[in-house]
Amino acid sequence: KDKSAACKDSTPEGASKRQEDGAETPKQQLLDIIGNMKVEVSYRKKLQQLKASGSKKQALNKLEGLDSEGSLPQETTEDTQRGKPLNPELVKAASAVASSLPRNKKQTESELLAQLRRHEETTDKQKKGGKINIRNVISEMTVKRQTPAQRSARISGRISLQLDEDGRGIRPGRSSAQSVDFRRSLKVGKRLNIFTKASTEPEHALKTVSSPTIWDLEFAKEVAAVTAQPPRNGFEEMIQWTKEGILWEFPVDNEVGMEDDAEFHEHIFLEKHLEGFPKEGPIRHFMELVICGLSKNPYLSVKQKVEHIEWFQKYFEEKKELLQEI
């Protein structure tokens, strides 16, 4: 009750509603409790609520939005503390809400109860430390739609009141707009406690890189020697030999170790490498013979052939003066 009072004080828009809520009918109390419990508000229900009441529901929703941060965990812990089967108070509250809504009281009541049960289940799971099934959590959460009037009201309310998370001060404009743009899903909501802070990673990286000591190498060698047991049978021996490279891999691959990425035309048509040579004369004749021989050579790689030709080019350039005399 104190909580709700404080929250009501904080909202200037809810000024007119405060008087109504301040009446504190038991029905209102229950409605407040339910309104503070979040998560499962389906779109249909939202529409119903909007159509049904109007201002009363708007106030409730605003409270819900503003309180969801602080009140939620407290509410849920209180709920779980009360007991595993659905609380009779909650059941009463559910029936009250169902009665307040215009259509299909029984259906809404059953749906509310089902949602409460699911809520209890998830909180129990989290208590036991079970796997956090994100999918379930997210599937239950649905996107809330608001009218633009509501939105503007909320924004104005926020700007005047809330501080940034840093506590730096009021920053109307970008940050609040951004967080509001994402439908209050960034900073609002229960912490799922899935991710832990990665604190000392850079230090670890530096440490491991800088010192591969001799002792580490020795240890690694020791481990390798211990784990390498002698082969128990012929198959294991053959496996070991294959790993070492003594034995080939079967079926035999004729091109093991040969990684010639060049096409056949690069092996055969080597005339483009002959550009550095004079176009006529005995040298050209000689080089053409060399190229003919290289093109028929299947044992050299393209790189080696090119090196061969380049060696000759260099050699003849060095002997140029000699050749001029002739």
Partner 1 sequence: MAAAALCWALRAARQVLPSPCPGQVRSYYVDWRMLRDVKRRKLAYEHAEERLRINAIRKNSILPKELQEVADKEIAALPRDSCPVRIRNRCVLTSRPRGVKRRWRLSRIVFRHFADHAQICGVQRAMW
Using CB under 8 A as the criterion, which residues of the chain lie in contact with partner 1 when the complex forms?
A: 282-283, 285-286, 289-290, 308, 311-312, 315, 319, 322-323, 325-326
Nearer to partner 1, 52 or 289 (CB): 289
Where are the extended beta strands (E) located within 120-160? none
Nearer to partner 1, 259 or 325 (CB): 325
DSSP H helices in 162-281 = 174-181, 201-210, 214-227, 234-244, 264-268
Could you give the CA distance from residue 309 to residue 294 in angstroms, rounded to a whole number? 9
Are 38 and 72 within 8 A, CB to CB? yes
Structure tokens, 108:
């809404």
Are 290 and 307 within 8 A, CB to CB? no
Count of other CB atoms within 10 angstroms of residue 238: 14
Nearer to partner 1, 80 or 240 (CB): 240
Closest CB 277 distance from partner 1, rounded Å: 13
Could you give the CA distance from residue 248 to residue 164 in angstroms, rounded to a whole number? 68
Closest C-alpha among 70, 90, 65 to residue 190:
70
Could you give phi then psi for residue 208, rounded to 5 degrees?
A: -65, -35
Closest CB 266 distance from partner 1, rounded Å: 20
Nearer to partner 1, 182 or 311 (CB): 311
Are 11 and 62 within 8 A, CB to CB? yes
Give the containing element (helix H, strand E) for 156: helix 148-161
Nearer to partner 1, 10 or 301 (CB): 301
Nearer to partner 1, 215 or 315 (CB): 315
Could you give the CA distance from residue 61 to residue 32 in angstroms, rounded to a whole number? 10
Closest CB 135 distance from partner 1, rounded Å: 54
Nearer to partner 1, 135 or 296 (CB): 296
Closest CB 286 distance from partner 1, rounded Å: 5
Closest CB 178 distance from partner 1, rounded Å: 54
Closest CB 252 distance from partner 1, rounded Å: 19
Closest CB 302 distance from partner 1, rounded Å: 16
